[in-house]
Structure 1
Amino acid sequence: MLRAAGLVLLGAVVGAASVLVHGRPVGLTLAVVASASAAWALPGGWSTRFAFVAGWVAVLGAALVPRSGGGYLVGANAEGYVLLGLGLGLLLLGIVTVRPLRPSDP
């Protein structure tokens, strides 16, 4: 359980960094490479890869809420759409690679 909480926190940190640096091409490249490689390196499962992805996507979801000044952290431009696509891809990777809870399940 502690490992899952740590991976949710790690996913949130990587997601926050990705949201903050995605505005420049080098930052977007770093965000994609770091997020995808971290998610792929973790073994599939509820308390491993899915926990990391859940933290990452939660931060992205929070960043999509309008700010008090009327702006957004993720803009409606190419970089923003790539970041949203990355979030969707990570979420699909996290869901599809979850192992069954019982080994006898097909």
Structure 2
Amino acid sequence: MLMSVAIALKPTGLDVKEASSGEDALAKVQAGLKPRMILTDLNMGGMSGIDLVKAVRGLPGMGFTPIVLLTTESQEDMRQMAKSAGATGWLVKPFDADKLVALVRKLVP
């Protein structure tokens, strides 16, 4: 999935940083990485995407960073849970590369 996302986002010219897990992503942000946007899977081993959203939102300066969840889940209750945690958006997998790029361009001017 990481490779698919990186390939889809290459045309944007953005500097894409990857993390192997939610814990890895959180550690990178805690260590000083200031992403313009975070794209995470909902279901990961260990920390879930919703847990990552909550943790990132609790960090200084990360209150308004767009965070989008990628998931196979399409249930409304899961979307509401993500929104309540602070997620900006939701994209159902398998994702359309053009839609992902359009979303990124909208959220990262």
What TM-score bracket applies, with the shorter chain setting the length?
0.3 to 0.5
User: Which of the pair is proportionally richer in helix?
Assistant: 1
Q: Which structure: larger Rg?
A: 1
**Structure number having the greater strand percentage:** 2
- Name the TM-score, length of structure 2 as normaliser: 0.33
Which of the pair has the greater relative contact order for Cα pairs under 8 Å at 6+ separation? 1
Q: What's the TM-score once normalised by structure 1's chain length?
A: 0.33
